[in-house]
C-alpha cells in the first residue's frame, strides 16, 4: 500500500514524507526484482551479456552495492566498502544482503532528521576520489540509480529467456 506524502498549508509536499515514499517505492521495486531472481537458473544468472555490467549477476551486485554504500555514507560508517569490488557469494547470499539493506534503508529514512537534509555527506567514489554533496541530493540520486539499473535487469533477463516480469516504475507503484 502506498502512502501519500504530507502536504503543507500551501499544498507543497513535505520533503521528509516524500523521501519516505521514495524509499518505500525503491524497496517495493527491489522486491519485485528479487522475486524474478529467485525464479531464474544459475545459467541465466551468470549468462554473459553486453550491458553496463556483464550479466544479471553483475548488475544485481551493482544495485545492491550502491544501496549499501549509500547507507554507509549517510551513516558515516567507518571504512565503507563497495560490495561490487569483491563479492563472490551466491545469488541467495546477495538476495539476503539486499533484503537487509532494504530494511536498513527504510529505518534510516524514517529516522533521519529533516533538519539534516542539507548536511554534506562525504562520498568516496569507486576511483578513490573523496567528494561531498548534500544529503537531499544524494538520496534521490540513489533512487534514480536503482531505477536505471533495474531497467537494465529487465533487458538482461529477457535476453536470458526470462519473461515473467512485471512493471517496476513509480507510476505503477502509485497505482498499487
**Residue 78 carries which DSSP code?**
S
Q: Are 60 and 160 in contact (CB under 8 A)?
A: no
CA distance 130 to 49: 32
Annotated binding-site ranges for a divalent metal cation = 62, 145, 149
- CA-CA-CA-CA dihedral for 53, 56, 59, 61, to nearest 10: -130
- 83-104 burial string, b = 16+ CB within 10 Å, else e? bbeebeeebeebbebbeebbeb
Annotated binding-site ranges = 62, 145, 149
Q: Are 158 and 10 in contact (CB under 8 A)?
A: no
Pull the grid cell for residue 23: 524509499
Amino acid at each position: 500500500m502506498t502512502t501519500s506524502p504530507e502536504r503543507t498549508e500551501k499544498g507543497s509536499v513535505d520533503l521528509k514524507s516524500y523521501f519516505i515514499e521514495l524509499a518505500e517505492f525503491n524497496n517495493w521495486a527491489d522486491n519485485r526484482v528479487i522475486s524474478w531472481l529467485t525464479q531464474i537458473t544459475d545459467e541465466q544468472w551468470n549468462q554473459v551479456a553486453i550491458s553496463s555490467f556483464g550479466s544479471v549477476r553483475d548488475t544485481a551486485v551493482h544495485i545492491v552495492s550502491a544501496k549499501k554504500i549509500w547507507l554507509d555514507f549517510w551513516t558515516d560508517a567507518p571504512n565503507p566498502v563497495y560490495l561490487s569490488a569483491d563479492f563472490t557469494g551466491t545469488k541467495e547470499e546477495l538476495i539476503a544482503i539486499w533484503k537487509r539493506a532494504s530494511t536498513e534503508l527504510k529505518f534510516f529514512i524514517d529516522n533521519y532528521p529533516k533538519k539534516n537534509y542539507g548536511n554534506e555527506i562525504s562520498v568516496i567514489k569507486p576511483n578513490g576520489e573523496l567528494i561531498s554533496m548534500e544529503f537531499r541530493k544524494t538520496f534521490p540520486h540513489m533512487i534514480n540509480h536503482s531505477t536505471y539499473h533495474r531497467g537494465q535487469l529487465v533487458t538482461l533477463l529477457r535476453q536470458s529467456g526470462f519473461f515473467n516480469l512485471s512493471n517496476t516504475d513509480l507510476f505503477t507503484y502509485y497505482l498499487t
